[in-house]
Structure 1
């Protein structure tokens, strides 16, 4: 069986919107709202720590979104692309603490993106990625996730608190609480079976919490809207001049050596994203034999490597070029499995959620200026929900008390110390307190195949 539509080139498939894919209006509407709220969450980081103006931050987000959509258009990966969000708190803690100027921080981001691209490319070509992950002890995987969770909470409630939380406490806490309840609450998920409207609300992910802050914020005096009318032409050239290594200089070799631990940690998180995305597709594929989806780890590795290397040259903000936006992936796959009447094919649904690759929201000045006072809220709910997800996934991995204690100890080290020191401490703690179980089986690499197809 082969995938439907598109032009094949090497291991990739190019799909042109409106020719190879059709608009799916529910996904297009959700994408317009959700992408607007979450796609701009990096703007307060760019303006606060990387010397960007608001307009240049918008231009940077536009470029990042363009590289994300390339995963769907050019490479044909069957996942909803997004940030490798659990790595973001670790990366911010490292870059902001170690480097003082925007130029050095962008150079560090470029070093991270280039190093990561080379690692992912090598693991894809040699097909060594699954073997590397099979070798990695589960306790260390849990350590990375717990470290990401602690770093995310520290970023929101300590590092960024004077700039955001102290200025908008009610709005941010309300938005974070509502998002946690809608996304993670077991009682709410049980109620979805009896209340279809609740299922539709939870499918919107972070948007309800964001909208609640947008309504309550002005009522309590924490948000003041100053909407401007017209069109915004994002200053792409000015933004690229402030961050591209072609204009600010290339990272020195010492910087490439400094970022190695973060690159390895990010790959571990990324591999988990692929496992999650594959599981969702394999679960839904039996309901759609008319639209076979080919899962190819080699293609996914090469596509991710090329995107990260390309973005490093133009818009180096690591880890904004990941392979999975889990919430969107699940929402689209759920409607896809309902049949051709609901969604003609999976790629149409995915590309529709990304506005068919047409980033009109970045040009609408009323929308952008209306969202400007809520950027801190968007960043806070992104980091808090990421931290909570990393925490409960990470704590579910250890099987013994020793493994749980070791994972928490290593996670604290990752959130507080230099990456090389933290990684050494985490490995030492695992070696001394847990050790490798000689009876644990090592899973073999899965070949490329259609989702849902039984391995031969």
Structure 2
């Protein structure tokens, strides 16, 4: 039985340097509603499997092994004091795919992903230890930040809808699934309706899953996807094959320095994207903290940075993971937080909700019947993830950009970023920012000259 928290205090923990150690079932209790959601939503992390197969050329079994290891590492966040459900750096996926495509398949490409992920580990850890993240990111012009996010969105959607893109041969499946995803995640009509309808309200908590289920059903019906072949048993893990064929401890070895240099532009872009997750995480947890007076929620971006850095380090060494390791899965975190707001009787502690969600999702990945049911729809699932990400990136970027100069710079930069890669995108963005300027830089000078005239 978990230790009981005093009303109005933090959930009990063991001090551990900058971390707050909470052992599952000892410092927080099991929450069945989140556990059930986690088991059902294992389809979401399975979306990484086709990304890994495409970038690294791994088998399905090796990719599944990597996915399971990544899922197990998620528990580090609530265990060490971070009240979040972590995830990938999802908007960066199309940028990573484009970056990886610039290397030859095999050792060359494996080295590129290892170097990228280890570089991300260094950056996350450095930002966490020093607390520089906010200071550095605030120095990056809004036009460049918006351009990075908008470019990621354009690249994501283009990779699906271009004539030879991921949607080819699955048009009905993808479009139908995308409509459902957009309806559940972004529709204002749906948002209003769910407050009056219990079924829609529950449906809204499952994020992309309804769209994925529609794709899973329609794909075989329209012969765009094969029928699932349900198998029994438990997942066969291929750690030996993974270590020997795809890591620094096996045949590929440690990447030469040149790979780390080539990764720098994408590392910068990916961290700018990830920083947005820290901002969102702070808003979400602060809102929950204001609603629930019985528990103090301590979200610390520096701590979250360090845990994210450690996850990137482990994956970079033992299972190079193209989606990378970010601090937040917004869908899972928000779903748990919304139920948390209903009071202590609904969810005792936010750490119990996040921990149960993560543990159940990791356990579900070990069951072959679940994996074999979802496997045929994984290509469609990845396409839906990218299409959803494109919508989110588009509106986030547009909200950031206030002046015509910022919008113009960001728009051109985004196109270069999406179609020529991170190096071109960042170079064009910096040059345009210097040439065009921004209104808040030149306006005071113009006003001063006008007054003195």
Partner of 2:405: 402
Q: How far apart, CA to CA, are the structure 2 residues paired with 1:219 and 1:278?
A: 43
**Aligned with residue 99 of structure 2, among 81, 84, 94:** 94
Quote how far apart the aligned CAs of 1:145 are: 0.6
Compute the RMSD of aligned alpha carbons: 1.9
Alignment partner of 1:13: what SS? strand
Per-residue deviation at 1:160? 6.6
Deviation at 1:337, TM superposition (A): 1.7
* Residue of structure 1 aligned with 2:263, choices 256, 259, 263: 259
Which residue of the partner structure matches residue 449 of structure 2?
Answer: none
1:42 and 2:53 are equivalent in the alignment: no
Aligned residue for 2:232? 229
Moved more, 202-211 or 233-242: 233-242
Q: How far off is 1:292 after superposition?
A: 0.7
Mapped pair 1:200 → 2:207: no
Render the CA deviation track for 1:47-106: whole Å, top value 9, x for unaligned.
344221111111111111122222222x2211110111111111111112x112132222
- Cα gap change, 1:160 to 1:127, in 2 (>3 Å): farther
2:188 to 186, 189, 211: 186
- Cα deviation digits, residues 209-256 of structure 1 (max 9, x gap): 111112222222223222222222221221232221121111111111
Residue in 2 aligned with 1:447?
none
CA distance in 1, matches of 2:308, 2:427: 28
Aligned twin of 1:437: 440
Other-structure match for 1:24: 31
Q: Tell me what 1:62 maps to.
A: 68
- Cross-structure match for 1:339: 343
Q: Pairwise mapping of residues 368-383 of structure 1 onto structure 2 (< 5 A)?
A: 368-383=371-386
Q: Does 1:384 align with 2:391?
A: no
Helix, strand or coil at the partner of 2:20: strand
Q: Whole-Å Cα distance in 2 between the matches of residues 105 and 284 of structure 1?
A: 42
Tell me, what secondary structure is at the counterpart of 1:295?
coil
Q: 1:49 to 1:127 in 2, by over 3 A?
A: closer
Give the drift of 1:382. Answer: 0.8
* Cα distance in 2 for residues equivalent to 1:269 and 1:2: 33
Equivalents in 2 of 1:159, 1:38: separation in Å?
A: 26
The equivalent residue for 1:444 is: none
Q: Which runs of 5+ in 1 are unaligned?
A: 441-456
Aligned length: 434
> Is the contact made by 1:67 and 1:311 (CA closer than 8 Å) also made in structure 2?
no
Identify which of 58, 72, 85 aligns with 1:52: 58
Q: Output one character per residue of 1:251-275: Cα deviation in whole Å (capped at 9) or x when no partner.
A: 1111111111111111111111011
8 Å contact from structure 2 (residues 12, 27) kept in 1: yes
Runs of 4+ in 1 over 3 A off after TM superposition: none
**Helix, strand or coil: the match of 1:222?**
coil
Shift of 1:327: 1.3
Q: TM-score, normalised by structure 2?
A: 0.91
CA separation of 1:307 and 1:48: change in aligned 2, threshold 3 A: closer
Q: 2 CA distance for matches of 1:268 and 1:435? A: 20
Unpaired runs of 5+ residues, structure 2, are: 1-7, 444-453
CA distance in 2, matches of 1:46, 1:303: 23
CA distance in 2, matches of 1:225, 1:314: 31
Q: Which residue of 2 aligns with 1:294?
A: 298
With normalisation by structure 1, the TM-score equals 0.91
Cα distance in 1 between the residues matched to 2:402 and 2:408? 11
- 8 Å contact kept, 2:77–2:304: no
User: Does structure 2 conserve the Cα–Cα contact (< 8 Å) formed by 1:93 and 1:155?
Assistant: no
Counterpart pick for 1:212 among 205, 211, 214 = 214
Offset at residue 366 of structure 1 (A): 1.8
Deviation at 1:24, TM superposition (A): 1.1
